[in-house]
Structure 1
Amino acid sequence: MKITAVKTFVANVQRTNFVFVKIYTDDGIDGVGEATLEWKTLTIVAALEELERVLVGRDPFATDALIEEMHRDSYWRTGAVFRTALGAIDAALLDIKGKALNVPAYQLLGGQHRDRVKCYANHWYFGATTPDQYAIAAKKAVAMGYQALKWDPFEAADLEMTRAERGKTIDIVAAVREAVGPDIDLMLDVHGRLNVPTAIAMCRALEPYDLAWIEEPTPPENIDALAQVRRASPVPIAAGERWYEPARFLEALQKEAVDILQPDVSHAGGLAETKRIAHMAHASLIPVAPHNPVGPVMNAMTLHTAIAIPNFMLFETVSIDVPWRKALVRETLVFENGMLLAPTAPGLGVELIEDACAQFPYAPTNVPLFDGTINTAGIASGSATLGKAQN
């Protein structure tokens, strides 16, 4: 079996653009991966197109060797764009191999540690701006079947927060906790927007609301700063979505900067690389909750990885997305009692509908973190991706 072509497909979903890659072989078996890199769509497409000349004519079963060769020969070797391209290629190769061997991709990662994963909802809060609106949206998310919710209540925070801004964030968290009760896990995402003293102050102020974690409280490039926050925080600290190479994860573990590690299966270089990162964390008894807030192929990539690692904690899902998300792929997902069951189809178990992507062409989007639109710049209208939609 030899690789004959590599193609990319882009589909706009209002908040960002999904980027898919498909690898074709002379045996008629193809594989799909996802390389969505928010706000860097055209850049990641170019990176994937450059890799086609390396892959055509090669054996798709030589997954690790091909990934290592591309990593070595890139010269620069790292960064979000290149590592995301590698992650998508790795996924597509494993998809081909799983289909050829008639086994799910997680079997190629050493087999399954579990037959289901506990999910938490993201994006359930889009459109909410007041504590009451957040509370209503949280109740709807729980009614969809979720037992854990994550969101960003920090609005336009940029390193520091005024007393009024701090007060509003605390009021939002208090309203959600009161709305869902004590048995629902709640997690906050800061998107790396606070300095050290502000992050510590907010972690302490939010302690009464029994949070499962506060995510990426400080910018990702300074692991020492994150370690400072973790040492002072009464709330567990999670991070990792914006680290790309294994050495950064190892540094975070050695410096005791996190309670929960969050590698992104695509951005960290693929399923196999993420499994290796998870095992590093496991040696330190640190759980892994992979970053997974984008498209349906990435969802499959993350699900297979979560099934195959020993220290998995929680599975991130996009609970509400554009209505045409499901038109882009054929997938079989079983969601029950707040959990996704392990897939049984060969490979990743998701097939890209190529023609559908062309119906939603690329459109540029801006980063909504610092203009106060983080919770309103998502989707104009949406539908549930897993649970039952609630009106």
Structure 2
Amino acid sequence: MNKNLSDIISENVNTCSSPSDLKITDIRVANLNGAPKHCPLIKVYTNQGIVGYGEVRDASSATYALMLKSRIVGENPCNVDKIFRRIKQFGGHSRQGGGVSGLEIAMWDLAGKAWGVPLWQMLGGKFRDKVRMYCDTDVDGKHTGTDMGHALKKRMEQGFTFLKMDLGIELMLDEPGCLNAPLGFLEDIKKYSMKAINHQKGSIDMDMMLGKNYEIFTIPHHATGIHMTEKGMDYLEDYVKQVRSVIGYEVPLAIDHFGHVCIEDCIMFAKRLEKYNIAWIEDIAPWHYTKHFEKISNAVHVPICTGEDIYLAENFKPLMENGGVSVVHPDILTVGGAMEMKKLGNMCDKYGVAMAIHMAESPIACMAAIHAAAAVQNVLAVEFHSVDIPWWNDLAYGIANPLFKDGFVDVPNKPGLGIDSLNEELISEHMHEKYPEMWADTSFWDNEWANDREWS
């Protein structure tokens, strides 16, 4: 369905007065599902008819943004730093950073539309005209490394020049003799596996997840008691060998989701991976255990990566100072938004650490990540996790379609994020079943108040 031209103009063009008189009047959300996960989209409305787009981190709650409504309504969204400093204290690591980050992105979108400049320009200009995308790839169900290799080969045929796959203990849950753990524990993991539950729907059955065994997902790696046997390490190494036999050794291949396994086993297995030219191995310990990352990095010659769950650039500093990571992997909807991503990029140059950007959300977050990547001096690539969702690109009007050309995205020159408007009809077809109303009234949050001052 073609968007009405007047609607596009009203959402993007300053039709009333001047940017200095712009005021936030309302915040609304729509809980999109399956792109690839639950993605709470944000609209920030103004007194001049311009609408700014933001998004809460994937698999998160719109509450993280809505609770901030009363703190920013009436403010001029062009004062992005001022608003960010007001709401920064309400953000946190992982999904808890999504409200602050998503609203920061929406402020930039509004400021760009009001002043007529793209986000990358407001961040200081761009270092590149196109951004490399790396493609995460899943293969459902029981499969071999050869199967994964062919799935990755298809990505290469689609033009992607950088690849990532999951590799971890879930591949061995049905393989006898590969894992060592307290009896019964692996059966609980298999039953309550997040990847197994409603994987095709892109959502989680919370009634099941909140059952008596939910705590298995809150135990840190070093405390699970899970070990890999020699047979298990042989199994995973052969899986990687099969993958490389299909895709070759020239293309970068990163590894994610290794599993909650003790760091000693991670070290032993990472040593085996050295011969397979791995771009990085990701999140093999909880990010805040800085000494664990330091120990692993000092023991192996595979680049170690983490960071998608870290809020604010300053919180990456201990990992980089201690040499615990070779690659950081921030998500723009957790780190605090575009300016924090820019700050982190500068820190990476100071400590000699590479940056790749995590992105598993809608075109709103994707375009924000593209602008930020363009404005950061050195970036490996931005993640894309929705290749197999045929309607993903159609969610937003005004962006290139197809967005990807030979594994890259052209950096847009249009104001703000470069999104003209959202495809409301398509979004309505993919609303989360528990939150079916689009852009519902949020007046419940209008009078939310607390003495927010952090000092006396």
1:325 corresponds to 2:342: no
Q: Does 2:369 match 1:302?
A: yes
- Choose which of 6, 20, 24 in structure 1 pairs with 2:41: 20
3-state SS of 1:320 partner: coil
Distance 2:35 2:228 in 1: 29
Is residue 2:159 matched to residue 1:145?
Answer: yes
The separation in 2 between residues aligned to 1:287 and 1:16, in whole angstroms, is 27
Q: Distance in 1 between matches of 2:348 and 2:25?
A: 37
Could you tell me the TM-score, scaled by structure 2's length? Answer: 0.74
User: Partners of 2:335 and 2:290 in 1: how far apart?
Assistant: 17
Contact 2:146–2:246 (CA under 8 A) maintained in structure 1:
no
Once the two structures are TM-superposed, the CA of residue 321 in structure 1 deviates from its matched residue by: 3.4
Superposition map of 1:311-390 within 5 A: 311-333=378-400, 334-350=403-419, 351-363=421-433
Counterpart-to-counterpart distance in 2, 1:329 and 1:93? 18
Instruction: Write the deviation string for residues 196-238 of structure 1: whole angstroms up to 9, x where unpaired.
Output: 1111111101111111111111122311101110111111111
How far apart are the structure 1 equivalents of 2:289 and 2:354? 21
Cα offsets for 1:272-319 (capped at 9, x unmatched): 111112211211121211111222211111111100011211221125
How do 1:117-196 residues align onto structure 2 when only pairs under 5 Å count?
Answer: 117-123=131-137, 125-126=139-140, 129-156=143-170, 159-190=226-257, 193-196=260-263
Note the residue ranges of structure 2 that are not aligned, 5 or more in a row.
1-21, 173-223, 435-456
> In the alignment, which of 111, 115, 122 is matched to residue 97 of structure 1?
111
Distance in 1 of aligned mates of 2:251 and 2:272? 20
Q: Partner of 2:125: helix, strand, or coil?
A: coil
Residues 106-152 of structure 1, C-alpha deviations (whole Å, 9 max, x = no match): 10100001111222111354456212211221211111111111011
Residue 355 to residue 3, structure 1, CA distance change in 2 (3 Å): farther
Matched residues, percent identical?
A: 27
Task: Flag the 1:125–1:110 CA change in 2: closer, same or farther, 3 A.
Answer: farther
**Whole-angstrom distance in 1 between the partners of 2:313 and 2:399:** 32
TM-score by length of 1: 0.86
Name the CA distance, whole Å, in 2 between partners of 1:236 and 1:57: 47
Whether the 8 Å contact between 2:137 and 2:151 is mirrored in structure 1 is no
Residue 212 (structure 1) aligns with: 279
Q: Secondary structure at the match of 1:151?
A: strand
Structure 2 vs 1, CA of residues 192 and 21 (structure 1 numbering), >3 Å: closer, same or farther? farther
Matching residue of 1:377: none
Which of 294, 297, 304 is matched with 1:227 structurally?
A: 294
Instruction: Name the counterpart of 1:274.
Output: 341
**Is this contact kept in 1: 2:80–2:107, CA < 8 A?**
yes
2:54 paired with 1:49? no
Structure 1 unmatched ranges of 5 or more: 365-391
Matching residue within 58, 71, 80 for 2:88: 71
Structure 2 vs 1, CA of residues 123 and 363 (structure 1 numbering), >3 Å: closer, same or farther? farther
Deviation at 1:14, TM superposition (A): 7.5
Separation (CA, whole Å) in 2 of partners of 1:161 and 1:331: 49
Q: CA RMSD in A?
A: 2.0
Deviation at 1:162, TM superposition (A): 2.9
Deviations 1:164-204 (A, max 9, x none): 33222212211111111122111111356332111111110
1:244 to 311, 316, 334: 311
Deviations 1:367-390 (A, max 9, x none): xxxxxxxxxxxxxxxxxxxxxxxx
Aligned twin of 1:369: none
2:442 aligned residue: none
CA shift for structure 1 position 15: 5.3
How far apart, in 2, do the equivalents of 1:30 and 1:175 lie?
A: 49
**Change over 3 Å in CA distance of 1:19–1:164 after alignment to 2:** farther
Deviation at 1:161, TM superposition (A): 2.0
Residue range with higher mean Cα deviation, 288-297 or 315-324: 315-324
Q: Is the 2:158–2:406 contact (alpha carbons within 8 Å) kept by the matching residues of 1?
A: no
* Alignment check: 8 A CA contact 1:123 1:318 kept: yes
Task: Describe the superposition over 1:46-65 as per-residue Cα deviations: whole angstroms up to 9, x where unpaired.
Answer: 12111111121110111010
Could you tell me how far apart the structure 1 residues matched to 2:409 and 2:50 are?
27
Partner residue of 1:368?
A: none
**Distance (Å, rounded) in 1 between the aligned partners of 2:154 and 2:142:** 12
The number of aligned residues is: 357
Equivalents in 2 of 1:268, 1:191: separation in Å? 23
The secondary structure found in structure 2 opposite 1:19 is strand
Q: Which moved more, 1:110-119 or 1:78-87?
A: 78-87
2:267–2:300 CA contact under 8 A, matched in 1: yes
Which position in structure 2 is the counterpart of 1:199? 266
In structure 1, what is the Cα distance between the partners aligned to 2:277 and 2:268? 16
Moved more, 170-179 or 325-334: 325-334
8 Å CA contact 1:3–1:25 kept in 2: the answer is: yes
Q: Which amino acid aligns with 2:412?
A: P
Tell me if structure 2 keeps the 8 A contact 1:192–1:220: no
**Distance across 1 between alignment mates of 2:66 and 2:137:** 31
Letter in 2 for 1:330: Y
